[in-house]
């Protein structure tokens, strides 16, 4: 999954680098999501190696930095990434369903503040996990993920309703609404598969069973959020298509 995530995010990094001179406030959250996903992809192998050597008694109990490297990548992908995805869904919803509110909230300051808040919450989860163990953050993390999924679902329903309310007075807004609805639908379908299982983690951990079925279920739930590293580029599918069509000599071959 790490290699798949890298293959999915490198084109997104190329897209942002290529268009860095025209970086708008709307792309700030996307850049933060890209950085968070790349951090996870690049640091996770070191965390896996640390855990492997410790479990095989070839490495002593980890100090604070090694614990951050070991636990940090997973917390990034299970808390930070879905928070940024939810913010991006809200942006798409606001752009087409609440344009006046969106225009007031699209300033650089708001985007930077939201991104800083997401990084702060993620860092708190990481430090709490390192100091007190994963069990201490399992319940608040699952509640956070459930709330974020509900926010994404609200955006999807709101966009669908807005699309249904489209009247003849604003025909030019119809393609924009359809693109936004398609983007949010793609994201939420993947987000449900990636993050919804996390909501069932606290009761499983509380049961403290040790049979094979329980272990396989816990392992599957822990593994599901790794799908999240591939979700971010879905928001920029239309932009990828536009760039590739431009390089191909026109939009005729991209319909």
Predicted confidence at residue 249, as pLDDT, reads: 45
pLDDT at 254 over 60: no
Averaged pLDDT for residues 36-45: 87
Average pLDDT over the chain reads 79
Residue 5 is encoded by which pair of tokens? 């995530």
Predicted confidence at residue 64, as pLDDT, reads: 64
Instruction: Pick 215 or 3 by higher pLDDT.
Output: 215
Contact between 126 and 72 (Cβ < 8 Å): yes
Predicted confidence at residue 82, as pLDDT, reads: 92
Predicted confidence at residue 255, as pLDDT, reads: 47
Q: Using CA atoms, how far apart are residues 149 and 133, in angstroms rounded to an integer?
A: 25
Contact between 243 and 17 (Cβ < 8 Å): no
pLDDT at 237 over 80: no
Predicted confidence at residue 145, as pLDDT, reads: 94
Question: Tens digit of pLDDT for each residue in 80-119?
Answer: 999 999 998 888 888 877 877 777 777 788 888 999 999 9
Predicted confidence at residue 250, as pLDDT, reads: 45
Helix, coil or strand: residue 56: coil
Place of tokens 């293959």: 7
Q: How many residues in the chain?
A: 255
For residue 239, count other CB atoms closer than 10 A to its CB.
16
Place of tokens 């939420």: 188
What pTM did the predictor assign? 0.83
Residue ranges and CATH numbers for the domains of the chain are 2-163+172-229 (1.20.1070.10)
Percent of the chain surpassing pLDDT 90: 17
Q: Using CA atoms, how far apart are residues 255 and 246, in angstroms rounded to an integer?
A: 12
pLDDT at 173 over 90: no
pLDDT at 62 over 70: no
């Amino acid at each position: 999954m790490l290699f798949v995530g890298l293959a999915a995010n490198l084109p997104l990094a190329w897209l942002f680098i290529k268009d860095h001179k025209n970086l708008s406030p709307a792309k700030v959250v996307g850049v933060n999501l890209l950085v968070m996903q790349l951090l996870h992809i690049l640091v996770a192998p070191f965390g896996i190696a640390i855990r492997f050597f410790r479990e095989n008694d070839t490495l002593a109990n980890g100090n604070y930095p090694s614990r951050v490297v070991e636990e940090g990548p997973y917390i990034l992908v299970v808390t930070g990434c879905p928070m940024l995805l939810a913010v991006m869904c809200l942006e798409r919803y606001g752009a087409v369903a609440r344009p006046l509110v969106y225009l007031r909230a699209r300033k650089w300051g708001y985007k930077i503040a939201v991104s800083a808040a997401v990084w702060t919450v993620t860092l708190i989860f990481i430090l709490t996990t390192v100091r007190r163990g994963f069990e201490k953050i399992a319940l608040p993390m699952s509640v956070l993920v459930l709330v974020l999924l509900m926010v994404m679902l609200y955006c999807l329903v709101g966009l669908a309703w807005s699309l249904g309310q489209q009247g003849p007075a604003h025909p030019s807004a119809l393609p924009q609404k359809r693109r936004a609805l398609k983007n949010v639908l793609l994201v939420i379908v993947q987000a449900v598969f990636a993050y919804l299982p996390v909501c069932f983690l606290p009761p499983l951990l509380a049961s403290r069973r040790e049979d094979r079925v329980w272990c396989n279920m816990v392992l599957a739930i822990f593994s599901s959020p790794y799908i999240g590293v591939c979700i971010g580029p879905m928001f920029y599918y239309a932009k990828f298509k536009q760039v590739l069509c431009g390089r191909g000599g026109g939009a005729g071959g991209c319909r």
